Amino acid sequence: MKYFSTRNKSLEFSFKDIFLRGLAPDGGLFLPSEIKKYNQSELKNLSKLSYVDLATEIILNFCKDDINKAQLKILIDKAYSNFKSKEVVELKKIGNHNLLELYHGPTLAFKDIAMQVIGNMYDYLKVSKEKIVNIIVATSGDTGSAAISALNDRKNINVFVLHPHNKISNIQRKIMTTIGSKNIFNIAIEGSFDDCQKIVKDMFNDNEFREKINMSGVNSINWARIICQIVYYFYAAFKIDKQNISFSVPTGNFGDIYAGYMAKKMGLSIDKLIVATNENDILRRVINTGEYRPGKVKPSLSPSMDIQVSSNFERLLFDILNEDDKKVSLLMNDLKIKGFFKLDLNSVKIIKKNFCAEKINDEEVLAIIKNLNTEEKFILDPHTATAFGVSKKINNLSEIVILGTAHPYKFLETVKKATGIEVKLPKQLSNVLDKKERFDILDNNISKIKNYILEKTS
Ligand SMILES: *Cc1c(COP(=O)(O)O)cnc(C)c1O
């Protein structure tokens, strides 16, 4: 199977290429040339599998030219061996709500589910055998720690993590900055996550720099992240065993929910994919009006979703514009030059067939966390609370699964504010808190950051 860019269908790439590059050379996102569609009897067979076997089947569709099935299974098995849950994720009934907990990995957010597999893929694909690979990653708080945990102390790999200074929770920061390994570099940028993401994208587009440092990336624009996340949509739907389930997904960069869209394209019976955002609601606006116009990032209680440039949306655009790479390029150019683009009514109609969207503000988040604790003695983190609140705002859907994306401990200040409760330290994080933090604070200035990286890698 080949891969191409959303902005140019004629260039071909292998899985290994796109895994390493993350972003296409023309600035577009990679997509596969074919998508496996399961029929009813195949779905029935998949529904009997354990999480690891299901993950092996689904991910294999996208990487079989570079990784064989037996090897893939070993690599996935190993990736999930240190998760708290044997089946990786946990589907729970909280009152009459379905909650899919995705945060039982080593850094307590759903990002671990893809990142632990990716860490093993780097080793397996031997990308770092001859030359040191420098992985540059932008984080709104959880991707960075998941990447560090997955790549910590791997041979011939350096990881540079850019996070927005003072705009992530204390626990999020500490998990990243207390690692102390020689191959991990934490950089706090004086700016927002959008600034961090832009710096990383611009570095990818700078061929000379990219080649010089042998750069690679693991942000959610990396296709390997998406394919690992498709799995739990299947897993949850099989467990619930009903047709036309909807999923309420706390959304920032549109990666997680796009994985749900892929599951639907692969034949899983999904009704609506519900985009749950905080006040940074560019996705809600584009889904409801067709206008994609990034605003200024507004810090919220759910910092991992404080995003205004929702990169993976470009993958959906490609699909709803009938895979017209020229049109995608034109819209992306509009975005760059004019600061927005506008979709026609027909495109909006197609999006609305699959998606709906609502937002929740900070005050509502606190009330949701408080009420659920009172009613069910269950504590949500602010991101999951956003999806929870949105699922209640949307009517006329039958069965909704809420994706739980982070453990409440990561946002203990917010939980305390809402409920008065101190969340207990989970086992995975014992002794993070007392260790010394190491990070450098840099201006939001790409040449300064490039110099920093060059200095550390020389
Ligand atoms: C990253 C993240 C999100 C948003 O996921 P996207 O794939 O960027 O839409 C939601 N919740 C938490 C806790 C996250 O870390």
Q: Which residues of the chain have pLDDT under 70?
A: 128-129
Q: Is 356 helix (H, G, I), strand (E, B) or coil?
A: strand
Q: Which of 149, 304, 390, 412 has most ligand 1 atoms within 8 Å of CB, for mutation?
A: 304
**What is the token pair recorded at 329?**
């390029």
Which pTM does this prediction carry? 0.95
pLDDT at res. 398: 84
Query: What region does 166 belong to: left with phi over 0, alpha with psi -120 to 50, or beta?
Result: left
Whether 313 and 255 have beta carbons less than 8 Å apart is answered as no
- Measured in whole angstroms, the distance separating CA 454 from the mean position of its chain's CA atoms is 28
List, in sequence order, every residue forming a beta bridge with 277; answer none if it has no partner. Answer: 359
Q: What confidence tens digit (pLDDT) does each residue in 421-452 have?
A: 999 988 888 877 788 999 999 999 999 999 99
Residue 138, ligand 1, Cβ within 6 A? no
Instruction: Tell me how long the chain is.
Output: 458
111 belongs to the catalytic site = yes
Whether 185 and 161 have beta carbons less than 8 Å apart is answered as yes
Q: Which of 142, 306, 407 has most ligand 1 atoms within 8 Å of CB, for mutation?
A: 142
Query: What region does 180 belong to: left with phi over 0, alpha with psi -120 to 50, or beta?
Result: left
Report which ligand 1 atom has the smallest distance to the Cα of 141.
15
pLDDT at res. 128: 62
Selection from 317, 310, 315 nearest residue 290 by Cα: 317
Residue 220, ligand 1, Cβ within 6 A? yes
- Strands 3-5, 8-13: parallel, antiparallel or unpaired by DSSP? antiparallel
Q: Which of 143, 169, 223, 251 has most ligand 1 atoms within 8 Å of CB, for mutation?
A: 251
Residue 284, ligand 1, Cβ within 6 A? no
pLDDT at res. 48: 98
Hey, CA dihedral for 195, 199, 201, 202, is it positive or negative? positive
Q: Is 128 helix (H, G, I), strand (E, B) or coil?
A: coil
**What is d(CA 292, CA 307) in angstroms, rounded to the nearest whole number?**
13
Residue 148: phi and psi, rounded to 5, are: -65, -45
Q: Is 1 helix (H, G, I), strand (E, B) or coil?
A: coil
The C-alpha torsion from 114 through 361 and 198 to 126, rounded to 10°, is -10
Burial label, 371 (beta-carbon count in 10 A; 0-12, 13-18, 19+): middle
Query: What region does 273 belong to: left with phi over 0, alpha with psi -120 to 50, or beta?
Result: beta
Query: What region does 439 belong to: left with phi over 0, alpha with psi -120 to 50, or beta?
Result: beta
Q: Is 343 helix (H, G, I), strand (E, B) or coil?
A: coil
Crossing angle (nearest 10°) for helices 193-204 and 446-457: 60
Report which ligand 1 atom has the smallest distance to the Cα of 142.
15
For 369-421, the three-class secondary structure string (H helix, E strand, C coil) is HHHHHHHHCCCCCHHHHHHHHHHHHCCCCCCEEEEECECHHHHHHHHHHHHCC
Q: Which helix (H) or strand (E) holds 336?
A: helix 325-338
For residue 76, the CA-to-ligand 1 centroid distance in Å is 22
pLDDT at res. 129: 67
- Amino acid occupying residue 93: K
Residue 304, ligand 1, Cβ within 6 A? yes
What's the longest Cα–Cα distance across the chain? 58
Whether 432 and 178 have beta carbons less than 8 Å apart is answered as yes
**What is d(CA 415, CA 384) in angstroms, rounded to the nearest whole number?**
12
